[in-house]
Amino acid sequence: MIKPSFLRAQVAKSRISRRTTPFLRRLVGSVVDKTAHEHYGAAYPTKCLQTAWGVQVLLRRLGLESRLWMGAFCAAEIFAAWGHDGWGGFWDQDHHIWLTTEFNEIVDLSVAQMHGHPRSRRDDGVAMPPLWWDDVGTWPQVIRYLPDSPIRVGFTDPADTADLTAFETKLLWTFDQILARRRLDEIEFGPFLDNVDGMNRLHQAGHPWLVRGTAFIDRRVAFPAWIREREAELIAGIRAGIRAPSRLAHRTDLVADPQGGPTA
């Protein structure tokens, strides 16, 4: 059994260090991942919104705040067969959804399933690790998250709303079952991509995605033009003290901003 007093201590420790503790990361990640696999099956790679929402639900249950974001994502797409690696992800008229914690960490479990996405160029993709990134001031040259708009879930299709409710019910049930029946040392998940030092450790341990992904850095492979242009646009907005214009304002079918008006 994992006692409430232990969880409260973990939350307090997270607030002191301004980083979610490794145990809470493993706990939340394992429950969301298990529930997503069971509920969505082969469709899991397309459920970035649902998995980000799931992380938010569990963090809220623990007493930690977070926010959902929609924007562009680009990372090295690695395949088992040599000669096919390139850039993969979601940008331009497409989108991706992730979460930021109250400590400004970026959390994204669905990237670990990107190699199984129906839009993948091949079926021998190498999985990248899930991401709970706590060093937002430094990004490796194989990953980009470019935020567009903060969002809250606002499905217009009742079937989507019902499905999300069913997912949340299973998620909370699984969470309670694990807390009641598991020992602390039985909570396993990851490893996460958490910061540059962590990436270096995984690379040294021979993680296949990182070993091959480093070749992008060594060869100085440029990000796609759209990613470079959008990143420059965001940086210019920050320097000018203004919010860069949304590239996804047309996606009013998916989400609404926290104030209630459509933004995505």
Res 248 pLDDT > 60 = yes
As a whole number of angstroms, the distance between CA 264 and CA 261 comes to 9
Kindly list the distances between the CA atom of residue 123 and the CA atoms of 53, 77, 84, 111, 157, in Å, as whole numbers in the listed order.
Answer: 27, 12, 11, 16, 31
Mean pLDDT (the chain) is 89
Q: Determine the pLDDT at residue 259.
A: 37
CA 8 from centroid of its chain's CA atoms: 24
| Chain segment 26-44, per-residue pLDDT in tens | 999 999 999 999 999 999 9
Tokens encoding 31:
């429950």
- Asked if residue 144 lies in contact with residue 74, where contact means CB atoms within 8 angstroms, the answer is yes
Q: Determine the pLDDT at residue 172.
A: 97
How big is the chain by its Cα radius of gyration, in Å? 18
| Chain segment 75-94, per-residue pLDDT in tens | 999 998 888 888 999 999 88
Summarize the confidence of residues 13-21 as an average pLDDT.
97
Q: Determine the pLDDT at residue 252.
A: 63
Res 133 pLDDT > 80 = yes
- More confident site: 149 or 118: 149
116: confidence class by pLDDT, cuts 50, 70, 90: confident
Q: Determine the pLDDT at residue 135.
A: 84
Q: Parallel, antiparallel, or unpaired: how do β-strands 255-256 and 143-153 relate?
A: antiparallel
262: confidence class by pLDDT, cuts 50, 70, 90: very low
Of 3-17, 79-93, 98-112, the range with the lowest mean pLDDT is 79-93
